[in-house]
Structure 1
Amino acid sequence: MERLPPNQASLSRGVPDAKPGTIFVLSVAGGVSLDAGPHRTILFGRNRPEVHVCIGEDDPRVSRMHGSISHRSGQWYVAVTGRLPVRFPRQRTLFAGEDPIPLAAGYTPLFVQGSSGREHLLEVYVVGDSGTRPVPRPRESTHPPRVWQLSPAEKLALIVVGQRYLLHDLHPLPLSWRQAADQLAELQPTESWTAKRVEHLVSNVRSRLSRDGVPGLTREEVGEPVGNALNDNMFRELLLSTTLVPADLDLLD
């Protein structure tokens, strides 16, 4: 195991050339790198003398020995032993006692929720088969997100139903079909806006996105009780893809 230099930049920028399978782990307190191999483990937590990577050293909500990253069966796995879960990208969380989660090649940020809303970052980078760091591409054209095609009626209905998402509510929920229909009828008095029409338009968009590979938009995927999960997942995709953006709220004025 090797200590990373004190001036080590964020692992999101890549790592030095290394053998495939080598792992780099970094926090604001420093980090380490370790070649792949059986029974190799990196410990992380608050108690600096007993862990390899210290995280949340001044925050008592972080456990002294919060978790580990171990190599087995040709892959690195994250396990949690602390009181608080570790959050992975896409809002996935891992709790103590659960099966370890494997790490994919490349960069993975891990988060531990601390005191007073603080979040402690543990950066992890697993070197892939090529063993090389990402190549800077300052002159390459930006790859745009996939913007989903919507009819004018679909877009307006979605803006109204999902306006709390566009307003950056902390815990947004879609408007009910009746609430949306009433607001749409005020915006377009000559159109035949009903709760059924709004539901039909939104459901058609959700089905179309699901057929094109967007996950979490069917009852089979989400399971019962469904609640607002299907539409919540759909609106998050529409915002992340920039199909809907906050400026669209101007249409409601």
Structure 2
Amino acid sequence: MSGTTNGPGGETVVGRPGWEAVLVWVGFPVLGALLGLGVRPLADWVLDTSWVPDFAPFRFVAELPQPGGTIGTVAAGVVLGVVVALTAEGEVLRVGVGPSAVTLTRDGTSRTIARGDVTAVFADGKELVLVSRSGLELAREKSDLAPARLAAAFSEQGYPWRPDGDPHRDQYRRWVPDEPELPAGANAVLKARAGALEKGDQKDLAELRDEAAKLGVVVRDQDKRQYWRRAKIGG
């Protein structure tokens, strides 16, 4: 139930612990059912309370024939719980650490990174980071997986896990607009990324991080601020 299993070809797979999966797949539907069960009493209370406006959805629920109405709201709550569980499951990172490659899977999409390309692996807060020989980041994935479990999986397979964190951390500098030491085009990318960071647009943040990497710039975020360092391209 630890969430670490043995996969094909000697791969070590780190994912959601079994107890957590049970909690998600049972807990959310049960919670949804309880919410559905409470909809009718809530609607009755709202309609009987003079200081609460007569809200049409509550009247609709209160007038549903029983017991069919309650059965329907409970069923709807269970369905909602299953949808939430599916969403939560899709957001979980699954890490397959094999003798020749690392496979990162989230929401049904996988990417594979060859072992020979990896020179450092570490946890940076809630993110798993793999670094290449050139210093570029091969992956930076948000993860709630326990660092100790990740460390054990990578170390057992002989990968260079860094318990002390990022070996390049002293090279980062805070980005300011029109930073003169950045390569051509990088300031525009980081400016656009600053806007995405402010909005919390995760898709744009990831895409613009990749664009910066193509220019030889590695970016990390902290408290809605961007920090950067240079790296070789194609090294």
Q: The TM-score by the shorter chain falls in which range?
A: under 0.3
Structure having the higher Rg = 2
**Of Structure 1 and Structure 2, which has the larger fraction of its residues in helix?**
2
How high is the TM-score relative to the length of structure 1? 0.21
